[in-house]
Structure 1
Amino acid sequence: MRDRGTDPQVSYPGADKPWPGICQTCKRETRSSYSSVITRGQGACFYCGQRKSSAKAAEKRRVRPEAAVTVIRAAGVEPLEDFPGTQVTWRCRCNTCGKEIDVWYSSVAYAGNGACYYCSGTMRLTDEEAHAEMLSLGLQPLVTYPGSNVAWRSRCQRCKKIVEPTLCNARKTVYKCRFCARVATDPETALEIMEDAGLTPLVPVPLSVKLPWPARHITCGKRVAPTLDKVTQRKRAPCRHCAKYGFQPNRPGYLYLLVNNALGAGKIGICNEGTNRISDHERYGWSLVARQLLPGHLAVEAEGRVLDRWALLDLPLGAGRHDMPQGGWTETVALVDRDLGHLREDYSWALEAVACAGSV
């Protein structure tokens, strides 16, 4: 028994009876019988036997470094250090978003989870961090950060169109903007651009974005012929100074200022006294900031002054046709371009300008 690693503590009790002893390796008590150790070849110490079995099982389960690298690369990340094993994180770089991440090999290989917590949306970001990342992707957020897997109202810094990608999708896709992802002469995209600018095309899409495209201005019904590239750049219909449909300049009218925080937009507008135009906007989430009753023709002039100022500042629209089924999107601006304080200044300035004309 001593040759098998245990020192008997009592006299020999018989071949098949437990024989108390002390393990020479771990110093724990053993109670193996003589026949189990000598005849059947079992280990004298139960604890040492368990440890050896666990070590053999662990060796059998051990992941070879070359196999681990193959698996982790297939998950879309590149290792930045040698494989450390399955019990600690592995420093890698995501091939999609380019960020350095700490990957649990078991989570990717066995649980089937994504390797990058930025791309999967599980990484919690502050509003400032999310805004900075969105800007780095070429998109300017128009509202507060809603979460990485929630549509985030933003403006493409390239084409100035309003889009609503999730932060996760923006990280993964080559084209962050659905408009930039398609050529401007794609009929469906071109029609959407024209409609967002307040124009209804009268003929099919021209062969070039620089050719005049006959259309009707939705607001006043007049026929115009802008080029698609100019409409895309300006983001406003070219017939801004025409009389408002349904507005009667010979009757008193309100010049009003509205904001919609959900859309991140402000709006200037006019309506005749006694109409429900402002309440129509309020039903769609707009809030009244200010309104002033004026002679109708002065209300038109004041609104035109505000829109002229926005045009000189080259401010794109803050809302699109689909955002305002009640109409009026061509007189909007994004709050990130013109905050509420500046909108109030524009509003007051326009009122003072028409007052100087001696008519208020």
Structure 2
Amino acid sequence: MSPRPAVPVGRAWADARWRAVEPRAAFTNTQQGWPGRCLTCGGKTKHRYGRGGCKPCARLRRGEHRRLPPGTRLARMLAAGQVPTAPDPGLTAVAWLSRCLIAGHPGAHTVKGKRIGNCGRCAHEATSRRSSVPNRLADARARARLTEPLADYRARGDWPRRCLGCGRLVSKRLRFSGNRPFSGGCDYCLAAIGAIRRRELPVDVALARALLRGQQPLEPWSGSTMGAWRMRCLMCGHAAPKTLSHLHQGVGICARCSRYGFDSASRAEVYVVTRTVDHAGKYGIGGLDNGIDRVGQHERAGWQLYERLEFDYGAQARLVEDLVEAELRVGWGVPAFLGPQQVPQGGWTETFDLRRCSAQAVWRLVERFAAQVTGSALLPAPAPANRRLASQREAWLEALRAGAVPLEEYPGGSGKPWRMRCLCCGKAAPRRLSHLREERTCSRCRGISRRTPTFRAHALARAGLVEPLAQILPTSAHQPWPGRCLGCGAQSKVRLANLSSGEGGCLPCGRTRSAAKMRLSQELSRIRFRARLLEPLQDYQNNTYRVRCRCLVCGHAALRTPAAVFTGNAGCSNCEKARLATRYRSPQDRAVATMHIGGWQPLVPYSNAKTPWPSRCLFCGTPERPQKTNVQQRVAGSACEGGNRHKPGRQRRPPT
């Protein structure tokens, strides 16, 4: 039941016409919108009783009331110190291009309100001058914060200075506010002061402690004395992560150049032991002149000696052990078999499973790498006792530790080129001892180490349902690799980069799997079609195969693509055309007015803009069938002038 109107219907209609609105529906109540048509612009509107008419027309009227005279607008711009450089836009809310009278800065201001904003750049410079201080006072405050000025003071900009504590360059803004004694100084010194307050060591103290123990840090300090900090020994050049607290206590300074444990310059051995109880094998190295029987320690733990090989220098034995470990772990894919609980005497990382790799195969690796190390070149004779550490013998030992055999005598400097042969790949090229101390590998080995191991590449290929057809790995992860698809049997080319990211190897099978994931069931497809008011007349196959459907509203049948229908971009084309025609069709009175302006008198009611409309010419009375679209694009009030107006393509202006 509709509510009773608060005012009579006649008064409501009179109020609507007084507000230049023609009602198009029956009046209901004062709280509900009343549809109508504006008599000024002809647009549709919906207003309440007593609340005004067309909103666009009201906005135009308010703009007319607020428009200022040209003289007033120009006076306001000049009073604000702005000279207009463009024509007057005529509205107070539109920016007017101008130029500052003080410094000539370009700008744009709106003549709105009672005052106009001044030039922004002039105001910024004035603020900078007010907040600035003399250079003498600024220099004094900078030195109070332990910084030396390198240029004149700038109040609102970066000020280059040098820290008196650490010598670093500081270019940030100097702030004079706050009660902190070092506010605005060097950030590194502030961090050091904060670390001392937290009972932590500053960076310079930690660096000094590391250098006193003969270690040079290779990365920034993390701030913790118990954290791992990668350093390089200044005596032998070996790089490894160390703990600052241990260095300060004298524990674990350098394992390679220490006086205890394994000695790289003394005799050593490489051994292989087995333990049949848990099917475990182990390889390792031991010194022969340090009084420690490494093989005897393993035998007391239940291991049996398989084979052993002696070397003149411990560096050779260590290099053979490293090469065997690289071949087992990377080349063959054999992981460590036992843990630290099963090997309490140490060395659990060198264990392997005898069921995956026999002791005989490991010993063959030891013999092969030992022949490469000892058969390529001989070490020089020991140097006299008065020679420095960087002698020829020590340099040869360092080269052997790094996996290279020198082919000529030591040139006498760690930065000079020294011709060597890599024991891993066999490449002979000039290298530098300083690069070896930094653990830089051979250029060819660097490229090989970045390659994916063979076992991992085969595993990735089979995980992507591809059987590799080539045993040789490609040099790049993006290089094609021939293979056979295990799904369809077709040959394809895969890339290790795609397999590592989880993609499949066969492109047709991948497309088939993707299409199967996106394919819907028959019931779900019918539900989605009916949600768009379409009844499918054929079975659904996939999202791109068109299906004939019938509209449930108008009964029109046509082919529709399920992908377009399900995403809401397509429905019944017949209903869509009808909806758009209804939306954009002009009213009857407006269409008749358009024909009258064009000089035509319609004879039948209006249907649409592109349908021929039987009309009679108002100038000569000739009946024709013009279209409203063509009529509204012609010149209004054109005369016939001997029938030329009725010929297509001939338009003439009326006589004046």
In terms of Rg, which structure is larger? 2
TM-score, normalization: structure 2? 0.21
TM-score, normalization: structure 1? 0.33
Higher relative contact order, chain-length normalized (CA < 8 Å, sep 6+): 1
